[in-house]
């Protein structure tokens, strides 16, 4: 069954028997977790209290022991002490204090973490603002037989990270948060099942080895293409400026070969890092909760209410554009794409455009995006690009000309053959400025032509699609229910050709990674602004977004 069919089936699933009972395996696992937990079971009114596992002291104790050993060795004049040893000792002591004093309390409406002796910290997150729960097993955690749990709220800064808990405590905490917060946030569809574990797990996508191979092949070709272009430019410069052409070209070829070798090494390391970070890359949906499992060395499972997934981004480089290899990423309210948490937000690495849109539809719970008509930005893209490049190039050229005149004036006052030097400086400055002006304008003409052909915007009943880019082609899919603000702005170049930029901000990414349609006609931008606000006003904004 196709992903779009699965998404339709998910929306129509109203089987009342699905909420009557939960699977026996899930119940047994929860019961085992409760029996291993030393405190009394939490109820809807009784708070759940959790402390870090005693083995959490081990890494800090090792660091503190090594610091003391280094200080003793320094006292006996056995070694020279590095000042950074004190930093390790202080960090280890703070970690010990944190492990000893950390207490997490989950009530009916909030999760609260307190720690500290002299300096106290107290952080509280309302349960209806919890965006996702992330369970990780780093190498240290796996050696200790423990796990790390991170509870994120909107904005990314309001997170509670617990290092470390045993598996029973982590499962119990996750279960309580699901029952009291995430499950209630997830049930936004009419007839959606309630209660943790009451809905069967439905797959969205799983990364395959072919996707890793395609993605890294695309990256390698792009990197080699860049190095080759730089090598050709260097050879052309060497042939133009050097009298010993053969020697210069040989040296450039040798440097280019070294550069290709370095690129190959970087590519191999990035391939290994990508595989260890993203594999197995399995994303599923259960009762309105999006679960993503990633990581080989650091095992990571992220649980996010699907209604708090803000947007999806479909992107591909030059090779991906030729081969139809699309990368799919999602952004939730706790962290925008590109803030350092990008690896856990990847859903697909190299899939076709139809499958990429199916994944976005399933994750965002919007109507079929492939049926939305895409309207090109129009000729204003090319006009604005050319005008912008002329204004920028003229600014640079004027600056370079002023610098050349200044240098010529200085030489005229100090050098004996001031006339020849002044003329040379002015000639080089003028020729360089004119050459740079021409190259910049021609490059902008090429970029504008390509963007004018591929840039488009589509507005559906419940979603907005914006496609734009030159080297990196991106299509952003935004549910209108997540829209926060719509802004129309005009730069100097845009005002000359009567174009504008339409910027749409969403929760969690406002001001950092908005959805922007650049260089569209001004009248069309104002029309879309009114239309977007009108349609978004008719859609209920989910709680906690």
For the chain, report the end-to-end CA distance as a whole number of angstroms: 32
513 has a pLDDT exceeding 90? no
- What's the pLDDT band for 22 if we cut at 50, 70, 90? very low
465 has a pLDDT exceeding 90? yes
Tokens of 198: 């009451």
Q: What is the pLDDT of residue 281?
A: 85
Instruction: Supply angle C-alpha 506, 512, 516, rounded to 5.
Output: 65
CB of 301 within 8 A of CB of 135? yes
Average pLDDT over residues 266-289: 85
* DSSP letter string, 308-371: GEEEEEEEE-HHHHHHT-EEEEEEETTB-TTSS-GGGGEEEEEE-HHHHHHHHHHHHT-S-GGG
CB of 385 within 8 A of CB of 447? yes
H helix or E strand, kind and range, residue 294: strand 289-294
- Bigger pLDDT: 74 or 18? 74
Average pLDDT over residues 29-56: 59
- What's the pLDDT band for 21 if we cut at 50, 70, 90? very low
Q: What is the pLDDT of residue 475?
A: 93
Q: What is the pLDDT of residue 496?
A: 92
Please tell me the pTM assigned to this model: 0.69
> According to the 3-state scheme, what is the secondary structure of 202-236?
EEEEECCHHHHHHHHHHHHHHHHHHHHHHHHHHHH
Average pLDDT over residues 330-348: 59
Q: Where are the domains of the chain?
A: 382-452, 455-537
71 has a pLDDT exceeding 60? yes
Query: Averaging pLDDT over each range in 80-89, 197-206, 250-259, 286-295, which range is the top one?
Result: 286-295
19 has a pLDDT exceeding 50? no
Mean residue pLDDT across the chain? 76
How far, in Å, CA of 460 to CA of 367, rounded? 8
Q: What is the pLDDT of residue 407?
A: 66
User: 455-537 sits in which CATH class?
Assistant: mainly beta
484 has a pLDDT exceeding 60? yes
- Bigger pLDDT: 314 or 318? 314
Going 58 to 62 to 67 to 69, the CA torsion angle's sign is positive
Tell me the HSE value of 136 on the side-chain side, using a 13 A CA sphere.
Answer: 19
Q: Which residues contact 449 (CB under 8 A, 6 or more apart)?
A: 382
Q: Which residues contact 53 (CB under 8 A, 6 or more apart)?
A: 144, 146, 164, 165, 166, 169
Chain segment 381-439, per-residue pLDDT in tens: 989 988 988 888 777 777 766 676 666 666 666 655 555 666 666 666 666 667 777 78
Tokens of 326: 């699309």
Instruction: Please state which of the ranges 94-98, 158-162, 352-356, 454-458 shows the lowest mean pLDDT.
Output: 158-162
Tokens of 106: 């989950």
Helices and strands in the chain: count of H runs, count of E runs: 15, 21
Strands 159-165 and 326-332: unpaired
- What's the pLDDT band for 189 if we cut at 50, 70, 90? very low
Q: What is the pLDDT of residue 419?
A: 59
Instruction: Please state which of the ranges 141-150, 239-248, 310-319, 436-445 shows the lowest mean pLDDT.
Output: 239-248
CB of 168 within 8 A of CB of 181? no
How far, in Å, CA of 412 to CA of 423, rounded? 10
229 has a pLDDT exceeding 90? no
Q: What is the pLDDT of residue 249?
A: 62
64 has a pLDDT exceeding 50? yes
How far, in Å, CA of 515 to CA of 311, rounded? 9
How far, in Å, CA of 165 to CA of 55, rounded? 9
Share of the chain above pLDDT 90, in %: 12
């Amino acid at each position: 069954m196709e992903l779009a069919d699965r998404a339709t089936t998910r929306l129509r699933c109203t089987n009342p028997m699905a909420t009557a009972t939960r699977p026996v395996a899930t119940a047994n696992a929860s019961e085992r977790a409760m029996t291993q937990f030393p405190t009394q079971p939490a109820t809807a009114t009784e708070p759940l209290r959790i402390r870090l596992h005693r083995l959490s002291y081990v890494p800090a104790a090792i660091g503190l022991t090594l610091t003391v050993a280094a200080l003793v060795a320094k006292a006996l004049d056995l070694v020279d002490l590095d000042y950074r040893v004190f930093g390790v000792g202080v960090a280890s002591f703070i970690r010990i204090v944190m492990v000893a004093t950390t207490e997490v309390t989950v009530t009916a409406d909030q999760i609260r973490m307190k720690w500290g002796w002299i300096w106290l910290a107290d952080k509280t997150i309302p349960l209806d603002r919890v965006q996702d729960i992330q369970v990780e097993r780093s190498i240290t955690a796996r050696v200790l037989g423990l796990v790390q749990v991170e509870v994120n709220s909107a904005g990314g800064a309001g997170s509670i990270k617990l290092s470390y808990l045993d598996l029973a405590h982590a499962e119990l905490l996750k279960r309580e948060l699901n029952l009291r917060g995430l499950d209630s946030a997830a049930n936004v569809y009419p007839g959606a099942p309630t209660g943790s574990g009451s809905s069967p797990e439905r797959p969205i996508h799983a990364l395959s080895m072919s996707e890793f191979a395609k993605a890294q092949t695309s990256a390698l070709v792009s990197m080699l293409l860049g190095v080759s272009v730089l090598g050709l430019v260097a050879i052309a410069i060497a042939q133009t400026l050097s009298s010993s052409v053969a020697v210069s070209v040989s040296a450039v070829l040798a440097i280019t070969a070294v550069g290709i070798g370095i690129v190959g090494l970087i590519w191999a390391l990035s391939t290994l890092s990508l595989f260890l970070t993203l594999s197995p890359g399995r994303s599923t949906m259960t009762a309105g909760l999006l679960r993503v499992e990633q990581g080989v060395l650091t095992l990571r499972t992220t649980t996010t209410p699907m209604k708090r997934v803000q947007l999806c981004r479909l992107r591909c480089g030059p090779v991906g554009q030729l081969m139809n290899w699309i990368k799919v990423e999602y952004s939730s309210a706790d962290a925008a794409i590109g803030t350092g948490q990008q690896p856990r937000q990847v859903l697909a690495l190299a899939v076709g455009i139809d499958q990429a849109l199916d994944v976005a539809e399933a994750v965002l719970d919007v109507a079929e995006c492939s049926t939305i008509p895409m309207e090109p930005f129009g000729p204003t893209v090319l006009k604005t690009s050319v005008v912008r490049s002329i204004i920028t190039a003229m600014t640079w050229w004027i600056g370079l000309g002023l610098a050349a005149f200044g240098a010529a004036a200085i030489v005229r006052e100090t050098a004996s053959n001031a006339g020849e030097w002044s003329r040379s400086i002015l000639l080089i400055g003028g020729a360089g400025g004119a050459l740079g002006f021409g190259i910049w304008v021609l490059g902008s003409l090429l970029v504008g032509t390509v963007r004018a052909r591929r840039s488009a915007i589509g507005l559906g009943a419940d979603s907005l699609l914006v496609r734009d880019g030159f080297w990196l082609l991106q299509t952003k899919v935004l549910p209108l229910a997540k829209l926060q603000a719509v802004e129309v702005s005009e730069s100097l170049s845009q005002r000359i050709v009567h174009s504008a930029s339409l910027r749409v901000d969403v929760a969690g990414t406002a001001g950092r990674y908005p959805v922007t349609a650049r260089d569209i006609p001004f009248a069309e931008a104002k029309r879309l602004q009114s239309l977007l606000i009108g349609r978004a006003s008719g859609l209920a904004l989910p709680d906690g977004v």
